[in-house]
Structure 1
Amino acid sequence: MAKYLLLKHYRGAPAAVNDVPMDQWTPEEVAAHIQYMNDFAARLESTGEFVDGQALSPEGTFVRYDGEGRPPVTDGPFPETKDLIAGWMVIDVDSYERALELAGELSAAPGAGGKPIHEWLELRPFLMAPPTVTE
């Protein structure tokens, strides 16, 4: 088994294939999208492939150590940016091919009008421990 991070990138119109930003979806469309995500996670829980997942708020803050002992804080990321990390899911699957299959399925979550949003997903394997050198 190998763990992968599915990092959900929300791209606002016009970059999105669906071309309707989420803040313009009806409450029913938002509910259908969330139900799709919950059903997807529940199915993977039943197969032992789901580890964890979470949606993220569009508000955030960037923090970086400045070398002076205090972290400068800047506003952002902003909801009006073209690319925003919307959430993540961790899966534990038998192969890279299975991870690709699930990422493609998750990308088809419904949006406005019930059409797939073709969401960009970043598929990242977890870094495994470096090999141990023995003599």
Structure 2
Amino acid sequence: MKYLLLKHYRGAPEPVNCEPMDKWTPAEVDAHIQYMRDFAAKLEQTGEFVDAQALAPEGAWVQYGGEGKPAVTDGPFAETKDLIAGWMIIDVESWERAVELAGELSAAPGKDGLPIHEWLEVRPFMNEPPTVTE
């Protein structure tokens, strides 16, 4: 079954060791990114990796605006309490395995090389809706 591991940069509740990335040294940022790459490579070898992507902190909120153009508002902002930093899709045999991997990913290094204990949202993909046969 496929699961989305949604990486929250801050919030829900806040990670234990999560200084804003702009306070990290270039070497600390590189170590964090390398941890993510190594984690994905390990899952590629087991056949559990599907895809992953980091997200830039800038963006916009967009909403259907009725007739005409959609409404667009600035945000989300890196200064907000909760910012989605990226995601990974895994394909594993069980919920327990998805939680195990999310826990391991949460240990990515941050400032001073310490694990950031980042919160990850684990969400199963919806199965296909049932089909009606008559």
Alignment of 1:22-33 (within 5 A): 22-33=21-32
Out of 64-73 and 31-40, give the one that drifted further: 64-73
Q: Which residue of 2 aligns with 1:5?
A: 4
**Backbone CA RMSD of aligned residues:** 1.5
Q: Which residue of 2 aligns with 1:44?
A: 43
Alignment of 1:67-86 (within 5 A): 67-86=66-85
SS of 1:81's equivalent? coil
Alignment of 1:51-70 (within 5 A): 51-70=50-69
Tell me, in whole angstroms, the C-alpha distance in 1 between the residues paired with 2:94 and 2:53. Answer: 23
Amino acid at match of 1:29: E
Post-superposition offset of 1:79: 1.1
Post-superposition offset of 1:133: 3.3
Tell me, in whole angstroms, the C-alpha distance in 2 between the residues paired with 1:100 and 1:23. Answer: 29
SS of 1:83's equivalent? coil
After TM superposition, what 4+ stretches of structure 1 lie above 6 angstroms from structure 2? none
SS of 1:90's equivalent? strand
Please give the TM-score of this superposition, normalised by the length of structure 2: 0.94
Please give the TM-score of this superposition, normalised by the length of structure 1: 0.93
Gaps of 5+ in 2: none
SS of 2:9's equivalent? strand
Q: Which residue of 1 aligns with 2:115?
A: 116
Gaps of 5+ in 1: none
Tell me, in whole angstroms, the C-alpha distance in 2 between the residues paired with 1:35 and 1:19. Answer: 17
Per-residue CA shift, 1:5-56, capped at 9, x if unaligned?
00100017x9331142111011111111001000000000011000000000
Q: Which residue of 2 aligns with 1:95?
A: 94
Tell me, in whole angstroms, the C-alpha distance in 2 between the residues paired with 1:93 and 1:114. Answer: 29
Per-residue CA shift, 1:114-134, capped at 9, x if unaligned?
111011111010011112234
Tell me, in whole angstroms, the C-alpha distance in 1 between the residues paired with 2:75 and 2:19. Answer: 22
Between the aligned residues of both structures, percent identity stands at 77
